[in-house]
């Protein structure tokens, strides 16, 4: 195996382009109220009305906000934007899974996936970056390099455009029931914790009772193991709000160094220690993700190690169950 590549351990410098006008969907309720107070003075309830239009009703334009005065809408149009992401391709699988390609306003493509749950509802996998700042060997996004972080509004708008797609499909089919997105996982393009501020704000918006009103227990943020950001995740109480998933993918540092070069900076022991320190509700579990790579991390010894390494008396962690049950078909030569 070749030596691990250099790994970015700080948030990328090319973070976010400065928009000409702020995007209304990129502000949480408190920030929106403050911005409106500075740019559109009026009654205090106006901010909540507009926030609900943006995030509960997914208003496609300012004109849809029928209980906001025409003059106020015109002033909003002058000082802010509501331009959406655009879905320009959808792939359907036989089991109902849909893969969406969305275009940003500056022409970049990002991907999101809708996955049917066992009961009603769907889980949506969303992106946090265009490309990725890390170099995990098994990840297709890593081959794209890093372009930029996604804005808060680009993160939440993936959910809203997908729900609009489901509505349109149901209308076209004449269905009486519209499938609803009930779960969100940050497991798409990019390392979410390398875009911490925008992801944190997106979580606040998606879980706001006046907006999308998703339950925090149904949202999971996945990380390759960015230890300082995991520690911040714990300090800021996010372990009480949403789930955390650790992309582990190896049970020894020797293998993880090569599969996930970030491990050369924060090894498995350091990573697990950071996870154990996260304050969390008693029943909230941390998920450990493990992509099986033929001949690399799928030996019986890997399975045995995977079942004991996360155990901790203070904090219930989800063990890696039956790691060898289903192999991901992947030739070793493709990766190494």
pLDDT string in tens for the chain (336-residue length): 444 444 444 555 555 666 679 999 999 999 999 999 999 888 889 999 999 999 999 999 999 999 999 999 999 999 999 999 999 999 999 999 999 999 999 999 999 999 999 888 999 999 999 999 999 999 999 999 999 999 999 999 999 999 999 999 999 999 999 999 999 999 999 999 999 999 999 999 999 999 999 999 999 999 999 999 999 999 999 988 999 999 999 999 999 999 999 999 999 999 999 999 988 766 577 888 988 888 999 898 988 887 766 544 344 434 333 333 333 344 443 333
Confidence (pLDDT) at 110: 97
Whole-model pTM: value is 0.88
Confidence (pLDDT) at 311: 44
Confidence (pLDDT) at 285: 79
Q: What is the CA radius of gyration of the chain?
A: 21
In three state form, how does the secondary structure of the chain look?
Answer: CCCCCCCCCCCCCCCCCCCCCCEHHHCCHHHHHHHHHHHCCCCCHHHHHHHHHHHCCCCCCHHHCCCCCHHHHHHHHHHCECCCCEEEEEEECCCCCEEEEEECCCCCEEEEEEEECCCCCEEEECCCEEECCCCCCCCCHHHHCEEEECCHHHHHHHHHHHHHHHHHHHHHHCCCCCCCEEEEEECCCCCHHHHHHHHHHHHHHHCCCCCCCCCHHHEEEEECCCHHHHHHHHHCCHHHCCEEEEECCCCCHHHHHHHCHHHHCCCHHHHHHHHHCCCCCCCCCEEEECCCCCCCCCCHHHHHHHHHCCCCCCCCECCCCCCCCCCCCCCHHHHC
Nearest to 130 by CA among 115, 151, 113: 151
| Per-residue pLDDT reduced to its tens digit, 261-313 | 999 999 999 999 999 998 876 657 788 898 888 899 989 898 888 776 654 43
Q: Give the count of alpha carbons within 13 A of 113, CB side only.
A: 13
Domains of the chain and CATH, by start = 24-79 (1.10.150.530), 86-335 (3.20.20.70)
């Amino acid at each position: 195996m070749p030596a691990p590549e250099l790994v970015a351990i700080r948030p990328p410098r090319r973070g976010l382009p400065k928009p000409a006008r702020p995007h209304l969907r990129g502000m949480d309720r408190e920030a929106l109220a403050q911005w409106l107070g500075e740019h559109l003075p009026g009654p205090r309830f106006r901010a909540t009305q507009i926030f609900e239009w943006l995030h509960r009703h997914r208003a496609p334009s300012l004109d849809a906000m029928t209980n906001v005065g025409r003059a106020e809408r015109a002033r909003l149009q002058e000082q802010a934007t509501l331009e959406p992401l655009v879905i320009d391709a959808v792939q359907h699988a036989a089991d109902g899974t849909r893969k969406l390609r969305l275009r940003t306003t500056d022409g970049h493509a990002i991907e999101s996936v809708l996955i049917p749950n066992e009961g009603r509802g769907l889980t949506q996998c969303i992106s946090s970056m265009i490309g990725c700042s890390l170099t995990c060997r098994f990840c297709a996004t890593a081959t794209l390099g890093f372009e930029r972080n996604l804005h808060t509004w680009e993160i939440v708008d993936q959910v809203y455009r997908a729900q609009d797609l489901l509505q349109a499909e149901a209308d076209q089919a004449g269905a009486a029931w519209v499938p609803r997105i009930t779960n969100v996982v940050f497991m798409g393009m990019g390392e979410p914790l390398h875009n911490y501020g925008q992801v944190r704000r997106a979580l606040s918006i998606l879980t706001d009772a006046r907006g999308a009103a998703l339950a925090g227990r149904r949202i999971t943020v996945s990380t390759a193991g960015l230890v300082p950001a995991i520690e911040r995740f714990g300090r800021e109480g996010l372990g009480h709000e949403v789930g955390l998933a650790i992309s582990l993918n190896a049970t020894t540092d020797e293998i993880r160094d090569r599969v996930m070069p970030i491990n050369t900076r924060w090894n498995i022991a350091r990573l697990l220690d950071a996870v154990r320190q996260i304050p969390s509700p008693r029943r909230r579990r941390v998920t450990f993700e493990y992509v099986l790579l033929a001949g690399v991390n799928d030996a019986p010894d890997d399975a045995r190690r995977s079942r004991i390494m996360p155990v901790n008396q203070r904090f219930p962690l989800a063990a890696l169950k039956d790691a060898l049950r289903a192999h991901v078909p992947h030739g070793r030569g493709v990766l190494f």
